[in-house]
Structure 1
Amino acid sequence: MSAAILRDKATGFQRYRRTMTMLRFLSAMLLGFTLLTASLPAQAASAVVTVNGTPVTDVQLAQRLALHKIEGKGNRTAALNELINEVLQIQEAERLGYTVSEAEIDNAVLDVARQIKVSASNLSKILTDNGVPMSTLRARLKASLAWSRVTQQVVSARVNVSEADIDAKAKAELTAANSFDYILKEVLFIGGNASARTGQANKYRKSFKGCDSAVELSLSYTDAAVRDIGRRHATQFPDALANELAKLNVGGITKPRVVEGGVSMLAVCAKETSQDTTYIANNIRQETGSAGMKAEADKYLAELKAKAQIIKG
């Protein structure tokens, strides 16, 4: 074999080796780039603030802002403060050993759906259509449930309600209109067109002769029912209804009122003066306790916030 042929073969072999080395290098680069890309999240989230080591990300903030927009409230500062508070609330609940299950959050979601009169699936669609994942609402509800446990077990001990003050306030709210005890029957015209049912109720009212004949009179009407309400104090009714009842004698009946499921009237079967403040006091106690609980809960959260390590990202 000539020297020229050998040289040509050697040169070709060197070119082949250089080509294969370059291909291996490019393959390694491509594999490294692929692995790096695969390891990156689709949307890198960065911490806007860190609360005792727990980050609140820009993605969370954007989603909470979108939720606030649906609710017609808030701004960036309000949304961020809400998220910080929720981190503190969950941290405190966990420190005290209180947990919230997924089932409890599911029930809370259903409650929200019922409040706005939509199904759970429609609620989810409303949220996602406005850029809010269901996880955003669930996070808020989880914090709310956790904080409720903290306030019930810890904060409630801080609330003091003066029974003497409640009694004095209840007596001050007694009026001539709400100082009666009644025994009542309800006459209810069920379903149908409210206007037509009101017309029937007014006709019944004109013929009404007292509680003893209430049921017999109702038999002349379609879908009319009479039920015993029993003993009720005036303070158990809204002011307008209490005022109307106060003007009636035994054997009287109130004007028709449209209620859920039909049209209702209350018939007075017995009536006597009674300055019972039980229901007024219960309402005052509940309102006072709720206001006190909220004030103490807010104070408790402010204390947690003052002690927390909150670092802006």
Structure 2
Amino acid sequence: MMTFAFVRRTTGAMILGLVLATASALPSFAATIVTVNGTPISDVQVDQRLRLFNMEGNKTGRKGATDQLITEAIQMTEAKRLGINVSNAQVDEALLQIARNLKVSQDRLIEMLGQGGVSSDTLKDRLRAAIAWNAIAEAAVVPNVQISDLELDQQAAARLADYQGFDYILKEIVFVGAGASGRTAQANQYRSNFTGCDGAVQLSLSYTDAAVVDIGRRHATQLPEAMAKELAGMNVGGITKPRVVEAGVSMLAICEKTQAQDLTFMKDEVRAEVGSGNMEKEAAAYLENLRKNAKIIYN
């Protein structure tokens, strides 16, 4: 099943990036200014959205607020048509996630919204629409996004650099512990005495808290760019310069090295990028079609 970063990114942008929202329970005197597929949008809702825009720094004004509410009404209509229901539990979890990302409590989040004149129900309404649209995209848009294997192969091959044309069997030598300067000096000493993978463990016994880990087979496309470039310029029996890592100081030793083109990991990267681009276009076209066919009546 193909998944696309776009879907996650769109949801994150709607749910995590905008701590703001649509309309809460509205007073009985609210005047309807537009009806979308039978769903009324009131002047109070637009006023609420304008307040949210002020919190966001959104400068599109009342028209932008109205358009955004219309879009969400259209999305909720489509969700209903497809049988997509967003539970209160899903909305509550999304609200809690926003609070976590802001590093505040949920009560504090609601208080912040209140200070801007926005009720928690307003935020929950927007979250509900965002979650619904994400489900619509997965159900109705993703299946229409096609990426051929030929296209993936061509784009992946075009991206492959010379230093990424190797397959390795690697060992990692780690000098464990804090004190990077002291450990780096010992690692450099180890490196100067290193004669190949066969003697890696025996050599490590001369040092305190030095470990040799079998990394196994790795293709260059699986490695960080800087590491892949360094390894590409070395022969079997070579060992990289010490690098400070979380555990201490690390080096990689080449036990085997063969020339090999492996597009697997590059194709995964291309698939995500191309899929995201295609997904964006398909989702935009899908929404535009919904808008064209929506019954929008301005009062």
TM-score by length of 2: 0.73
Q: What per-residue deviation string (whole Å, max 9, x for no partner) do you get for residues 7-46 of structure 1?
A: xxxxxxxxxxxxxxxxxxxxxxxxxxxxxxxxxx868433
Q: Kindly indicate whether the alpha-carbon contact (under 8 Å) linking 2:188 and 2:241 is maintained by their aligned counterparts in 1.
A: no
Classify 1:165/1:42 alpha carbon distance in 2 versus 1 (closer, same or farther; 3 Å). closer
Q: What per-residue deviation string (whole Å, max 9, x for no partner) do you get for residues 192-212 of structure 1?
A: xxxx74424523431334563
Classify 1:208/1:132 alpha carbon distance in 2 versus 1 (closer, same or farther; 3 Å). farther
User: Which residue identity is paired with 1:208?
Assistant: Y
Find 1:67's aligned residue among 35, 49, 52.
52
Aligned equivalents of 1:140, 1:43: Cα separation in 2 = 21
SS in structure 1 of the partner of residue 261 of structure 2: coil
SS in structure 2 of the partner of residue 50 of structure 1: strand
Shift of 1:165: 1.4
Unaligned runs of 5+ in 1: 1-40, 191-195
Find 2:148's aligned residue among 147, 162, 166.
162
Higher mean alpha-carbon deviation, 150-159 vs 127-136, is at: 127-136
Q: Which residue in 1 is equivalent to 2:77?
A: 91
Q: Which residue in 2 is equivalent to 1:213?
A: 201
Shift of 1:51: 1.0
1:2-21 correspondence runs (5 A): none
Find 1:51's aligned residue among 36, 48, 55.
36
Find 2:112's aligned residue among 121, 126, 135.
126
* Structure 2 residue 261 is the aligned partner of structure 1 residue 253: no
Q: Kindly indicate whether the alpha-carbon contact (under 8 Å) linking 2:72 and 2:129 is maintained by their aligned counterparts in 1.
A: yes
1:165-204 correspondence runs (5 A): 165-182=151-168, 183-185=170-172, 187=174, 197-204=179-186
Shift of 1:278: 0.5
Unaligned runs of 5+ in 2: 1-25
SS in structure 1 of the partner of residue 164 of structure 2: coil
SS in structure 2 of the partner of residue 253 of structure 1: coil
Q: Kindly indicate whether the alpha-carbon contact (under 8 Å) linking 1:177 and 1:234 is maintained by their aligned counterparts in 2.
A: yes
Q: What per-residue deviation string (whole Å, max 9, x for no partner) do you get for residues 26-83 of structure 1?
A: xxxxxxxxxxxxxxx8684333322112122333333333333433334223333222
Shift of 1:92: 0.5
SS in structure 2 of the partner of residue 208 of structure 1: helix
Find 1:297's aligned residue among 283, 289, 295.
283
Q: Which residue in 2 is equivalent to 1:309?
A: 295
Classify 1:116/1:214 alpha carbon distance in 2 versus 1 (closer, same or farther; 3 Å). farther
Shift of 1:255: 4.4
Shift of 1:160: 1.9
SS in structure 2 of the partner of residue 267 of structure 1: strand
User: Which residue identity is paired with 2:217?
Assistant: R
> Which is higher, the Rg of structure 1 or of structure 2?
1
Q: Kindly indicate whether the alpha-carbon contact (under 8 Å) linking 1:184 and 1:268 is maintained by their aligned counterparts in 2.
A: yes
Higher mean alpha-carbon deviation, 210-219 vs 163-172, is at: 210-219
Classify 1:135/1:225 alpha carbon distance in 2 versus 1 (closer, same or farther; 3 Å). farther
The Cα RMSD (Å) is: 3.2
Shift of 1:112: 3.1
SS in structure 2 of the partner of residue 98 of structure 1: coil
Identity %: 39
Q: Which residue in 2 is equivalent to 1:32?
A: none
Higher mean alpha-carbon deviation, 112-121 vs 74-83, is at: 112-121
Higher mean alpha-carbon deviation, 297-306 vs 241-250, is at: 241-250
User: Which residue identity is paired with 2:252?
Assistant: A
User: Which residue identity is paired with 1:253?
Assistant: T
User: Which residue identity is paired with 1:158?
Assistant: N
Classify 1:213/1:126 alpha carbon distance in 2 versus 1 (closer, same or farther; 3 Å). farther
Shift of 1:282: 1.2
Classify 1:147/1:252 alpha carbon distance in 2 versus 1 (closer, same or farther; 3 Å). same
Moved over 6 A (4+): none
Q: Kindly indicate whether the alpha-carbon contact (under 8 Å) linking 1:184 and 1:231 is maintained by their aligned counterparts in 2.
A: no
Q: Which residue in 2 is equivalent to 1:146?
A: 132
User: Which residue identity is paired with 2:57?
Assistant: G
TM-score by length of 1: 0.71
Q: Kindly indicate whether the alpha-carbon contact (under 8 Å) linking 2:188 and 2:242 is maintained by their aligned counterparts in 1.
A: no
1:240-279 correspondence runs (5 A): 240-249=226-235, 250-257=237-244, 265-270=250-255, 271-279=257-265
Shift of 1:146: 1.1
Classify 1:166/1:150 alpha carbon distance in 2 versus 1 (closer, same or farther; 3 Å). same
Q: Which residue in 2 is equivalent to 1:20?
A: none
